[in-house]
Structures are given as C-alpha cells and as structure tokens.
Structure 1
Amino acid sequence: MKKIFYLPLCFILILYAQQGTAQTKVLQNFVRKLSLHHNISYTSIIKNDGFVGEFSDTIQTFQTLGAARLQFELASKTEQDRFDGQKLLKVNLTGKYYSVGEDYKRSSHYFNSIPLFKMVAVINGITQPGKQVRQLADTVVNTIPCYHVRITELDTLIRGKRPYTIYEFYMNKATDLPVYAENQMKGFLEKGGIASEDMIYLVTRNYYSNYKFDNPSGNDRTITKIPLGFITENENNNRLSEKPQSLLSAGSEVPVWKLEDLNGKILSSPDLKGKIVIMDFWGNCAACIMAVPAISRLHNKYKGSDVVIVSVDVDEGKESAAKFAAKYQLPYPVYFNGKALSKEFHVTPIPTFYIIDQQGKVITAIEGFSNDLEKQINTHVDQLRK
C-alpha cells in the first residue's frame, strides 16, 4: 500500500531559521501564520493559460494546518475534490461521475491552481540546491500593499533553449497572507518518451480572498459516502466512448466534404481533384501540438505545388481553432467544425493523418505522432509524384 508522509509546518520553520535573508523572512512569516491555526478556508480565483487553452474558475478551499495531517476540500461549480489524508475523492458535478485514488496531486484543482498547501511545498523546496529566491520591489495588488517574492525552481539551457519554472508570490504586508500568486512555466512537452521540438508556455494566476481560520466544525474531511446518483469515472468513459471503427483502408474513396477556414474561405474535396492531399485531424492535445513543427515544414515544402495540406480541427468551433492557430503560429489554413467529418473518416485518437492520392483515394492513414511522421508522409508523397 502506498505510504503518505506529512511534513509538519514547524519543521519548515526550522529550515527557514537557518536562512536569515529578507526574502525568506517574508515567506517565513506566512508559514508561521499558518502554523498558529488548525485550519483555513478561503476563496481563490484562477486564471490558467495552458498549452491546450484558457481556463478560469472560482474555488472555495478548506485545508488543515499545523501538525495535523493534510486534509483539504477544493470546490468549484463544476468539480469538488476532497482529500481525507489517505484517499482523494474527485467529483465531477457536471458529468455526475467520480473517482477515488490515493494521490492528492491528481486533484484537477491542485494541478490547475495554487492552493496554499501547494504554495507551502514550493516554499519548502527553496532549501534544495539550485533554487533561487529574490525579494523584488513592494507593489500593490487590488489596492492591497504587498511584498513581492520570486522563487525560481528551474532556469537552464537545453538544446539552446531556456526552460524555466518561476513562482511569483505577492504577500499582504499587513496579514502575511498571499493576495496573488503566479506560476510561469516554459518547457518541452513529452508524450510516450518523445519530446516536442518547440517549447510551450503555461501560466497559472491565483487571486486569494475571504480568509477564515479555525472553523469550529473541525478538520475531519473523512470520505464516508459517494454522491447519490453518480457513476464512476470509468463507467462514464465507457458510456461516452463510441466503439472505434477501423480507419479507412488503402484504396477507399474518401467521403465528399466541404469545410470553412478561419478566414471564411470554403474548400471542398472536389476542389482538390488531381492533387495529393495530406489531411490532418487534430484538436487540443499534447501530441497535436508536438506535430505542428512537422506539419509546418511540410506546408512550407509543398506550398503552391500539387500537394495540399488540409488541417481539420475536430474540437468545439471557430474560436478555439483560432486561438490554437494564433498560439502556435500555424502557417497553413485551419478548417474548423470538423467533428462530423472526422467521424466519416473513422478518426478516434488524435492526431490522425490521411494521405490521399490524385483520384481521391486513400493511400494510407497514420494514427498519432512520432518522430518519423514527417519522413513517412514525405515518402508516400514522393511515391505518388513519380
């Protein structure tokens, strides 16, 4: 059975006592403030700009403090996460499903925000080699005078590029509690052991308010029952998932289709008669982002020739497609509202690529991204152009 270890806040204070710098004193005051109480509740407003899009929410948070083992509850309009010290209950209020696990870091709100117990973990990490702490100029956030402390967890060079992880904490000068926190991360995506060529940038912003200490109801957040009428996450996934169909086989005629790009230009399959077509079905996913450099190079190589790339977003609509195209600087036309078309092409995982010959027949289909995707596509195109 997995063991969970708790680090009392008093031990963190001992670590700080060995560091007398002004910047650590600001953080020390925050940790000391928490150590004087049994529990805390507060409101946090999240604004998260991630690699797959923007996210914002308001979370009501409760957590234990002091030497008590960590328990917490993070609740928004769409999800409630409760950790009782041993198990994490994640409840999706929109889809009416739940999951139970042992790792509290699987909380969606933990991942997408900066709850105070996560902030304490970051602060505790400044004692590790390579971490940097700086106190910057005092400032004002939402009319509140604040200290400003920056913690740099990572700042290095890899392949001539600079990945980093930086936290900015703005602490109320009167109460020692955070008013605002920001986490900036820049780095490489990795999926299936394959790293992305380009780096992605993520930023998480948290605004804190409505602090209350020592709720008389106590620290107990024991998970005793599952919400009535909710199903498990696996049951929900099985309910939503469609039985995957095999991709269109070589020699199949492709469906007739018509799509609109972000500039309002209409393109249809009859328009491409006599051309070699590379169809790229994608959405907001890590592998789709990792494929962008390869597809961009293919576009630049074949632009204006007898080879056409048709990039089809299978997600929500024009707005999300436009944000993705702008964020990752796509040099080729992007077509949106492709969900129905993706079903006609039997696309389940994304990205999926089809190579289509001059007569509108499938040459091959490729599921997912790999380092040799570009080479595979070039090989098929070269054979068709002979």
Structure 2
Amino acid sequence: MEDFELRRQDFSLDVEQQAVREAFGDFFRKECPPSVVREAEPLGFDAALWRRLADMGAAAMALPEAAGGQGATLVDLALVAEELGRAAAPVPLAAHVVAARLLARAGGPEDVIANAAAGERLVTLALQPMRGNGRQLVPDAAIARDVVTWSPGGLALYSAAVPGTHTPNQGSTPLAWWEPALADTCIKLTGGREGQRLFESAVAEWKLLTAAALVGLADAALRLGVEFAKARRTLGVSIGSLQGVAFPLADVATALAGARHLVWKAAWFAENEPEARPELPLAAFDCAARTAADAAWISAHVQGGLGFTVEADISLYFLRAKGWSALGGDPGEDRKRVAAARLRAA
C-alpha cells in the first residue's frame, strides 16, 4: 500500500502533532483552572487568557505564511481546540481563526488579517447566510467588532465601532444579535460560486473545531465522573465497581474514542482532500455534540446530589456541552446533509 493511501486510513498523531497537543495541554492546565472559567461568566471571555494564548501563536498558526501565519494544518488546530475544550477555556479560538483564514483566502484587508493573526483584533463568522435584514445570532459577536458574512451578493466584512450587546446563553459564550445595519463599514470580498464555496468551507471548519472542543469537554467531564466513582465508597467498595456506575462510564469512553478519531479523520480530509469527504466535519460535529452531552449528563448522575449543584465543576461542562452544541444550529439539517452525501457515494 502506498504511503499516501495508508495515511487516508490511519489518523494517529505524528511526533510533531503530539508535541502541539502536549504544549497547549500544559498551557491550559496551568493558565485556565475552573476558577478562571467561572470568573469569565456570563460573557465567557477572558482577555488576559486570550492574550497569552495568542502569544503562543494560536491565533496565527493555521494562517498561510503569506498572511503572517505559520502554515499549520487543521489537524494541529483541532488538537489545540480539544485542549481548549478540556479546560472549558473562555477564549474565542474557533470563530476567530476560521474568520481570519476566510479573510486571507478571500483577499481581505491586510491590516485586519495582520491584527487578527496577532490576536489584537477579534474577528468572527456569521454561520448563516444573510436573509432579509440579515439579523442573526453570531458566535463571539459580543467581543468582536468585525463579522464576515455571506449573502447572494457575496462575501463581505462588516466592521462596527463597538461589539454587539451580549445575549445571555447557557453555554456562557460571547453570543450577540448582529445585523448589517449596525456596522459602520462594509468591505466586499469574493462573490459568486467561489465566495459561496469559501463560506461553506469556513462554516465546516468552525463545526470541525467546535467538535474538537466538545471532544475535549467530554473527556474532562468523563474524568470528573471516573475520579468521583473511584473515591466514593458504599458498603465497603468504591461505587466504580458497581455495574450501574461503571457501564455508563465505559459507554462514554467508547463513544469518546470514536468521536475523537472522527474529528481527526475529518480534519485530515478537510486539509488534504476537502472535496472527497465534505460531510465529515458535519458528522464530527453531530457526533461530538451528542457525546459531550452524554458525558456531562452521566458524570453529573454519577456524582449524585453533588453533581447537580452549581458549585460542582461538572456543572461547567454540562452547561457548555449543551450551549456550545446549540451554536451550530439545527443538528437535523446536518444529519440530512451527511445522509445525502453518503447516498451519493453509495
């Protein structure tokens, strides 16, 4: 079997990717304990943490070198997003990086791209095409003044003097209602079929990176449940030895392994053969969203009365498992698109 064909079947990490994972894992463990997550609520943004993350190169790593980036792959970026999710870190990595990559591909303003690469100017992406007056809920629009959008008229970059007003939400994300009438400037980018293709690719990348974050979140939720089950005892034994506790946790571990490898597979194809399996980022997002919700729910149940208190760390993951997933819109639509793609390939 040729090396390239083998790589299409084997999505294990190489030495450099493992180093990326470990470096950002260490960063989030040191810089983002649960206290930082709680202090950032309800907005869900810690400016100091974002500055330190940008200084590590996270905002620029997946931009082309010509745009001031490091040319990292989507697999690398997914690994960073997973570590971010493991810490439930209040930073806008997915939308910012995806919007910056889209601007670089569409010939956006060089100053905006350069400042985005440095993490000094936050940009975000409207996930739905503009219709009517264009008003929609946009991830991170409560902290970003620049929003990249798509309409039948093409891609455009809208900029405002101030970010939008925060819309409180279960996931404690910087969500805000956005509409073009509130912007001060509008710069037209690429139009036509190419513009639509770039937009759809960016939305898929956002779902892929959010899926990776949900995998990290699910892993952290599972670990909280496992550690509690190992320490809590009843009738002289740990509750983790009881089938009613151990089996649900094992089911989550199995689902988590599948979700993680699906994310890695989707990231590899999106980077190397985007036209071959365009449905994979959608499938990964749906799978990771369901896995994260199950992991947080089961872990909360394992912890009994403690798991249902707001003081318990599992509550941070439970709320975000639900809230982060909801940002992607109706999961039923993604499942229809995945099914249609598989039928066409059959």
User: What band does the TM-score fall into relative to the shorter chain?
Assistant: under 0.3
Task: Tell me the TM-score normalised to structure 1 length.
Answer: 0.23
Task: Tell me the TM-score normalised to structure 2 length.
Answer: 0.25
Q: Which has the higher contact order (CA 8 A, sep 6+)?
A: 2
* Larger Rg, first or second structure (1 or 2): 1
Structure having the larger proportion of residues in helix: 2
